[in-house]
């Protein structure tokens, strides 16, 4: 018999990899964000209502998946813009 190795589960993988979503969720989410950029926020409940109004005929599950994708993208963009502002502030202060 071959002894099985007991491997320690990797718990940090959630922070290294993105969530896997179907391409149609991403495609619809990106299209909605391009057409209506000012209607979405980082609040899932708000985005769920907006997606429900904009996408007709979508099931509750699809609506929630699209709203979740949009919420994560808005949060990611907001964090990226805040990091950019901070780096500009520190370079202005340090360079003078």
The residues spanned by each domain of the chain are 22-95
| Comparison of pLDDT for 44 and 85, the residue scoring more | 44
Contact 66, 56 (CB under 8 A): no
pLDDT value, residue 38: 94
pLDDT for 17 beyond 80: no
Distances (CA, A) of 26 to 33, 62, 63, 87: 10, 11, 12, 30
Contact 35, 53 (CB under 8 A): no
Taking the C-alpha atoms of residue 91 and residue 32, their distance in angstroms, rounded to an integer, is 35
Provide the token pair at 8.
Answer: 């320690």
pLDDT value, residue 8: 55
Tell me which residue of 82, 83, 72, 59 sits closest to 30, measured CA to CA: 72
pLDDT value, residue 1: 56
Question: What CATH number was assigned to the domain covering residues 22-95?
Answer: 1.10.60.20
Contact 45, 63 (CB under 8 A): no
pLDDT value, residue 29: 96
């Amino acid at each position: 018999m071959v002894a099985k190795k007991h491997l320690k589960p990797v718990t940090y993988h959630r922070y290294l990899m993105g969530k896997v979503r179907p391409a149609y969720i991403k495609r619809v989410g990106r299209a909605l964000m391009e057409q209506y950029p000012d209607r979405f926020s980082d609040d899932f409940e708000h985005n769920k209502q907006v997606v429900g109004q904009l996408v007709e005929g979508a099931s509750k599950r699809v609506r929630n998946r699209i709203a979740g994708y949009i919420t994560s993208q808005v949060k990611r963009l907001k964090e990226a813009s805040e990091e950019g502002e901070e780096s500009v502030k520190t370079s202005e202060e340090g360079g003078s």
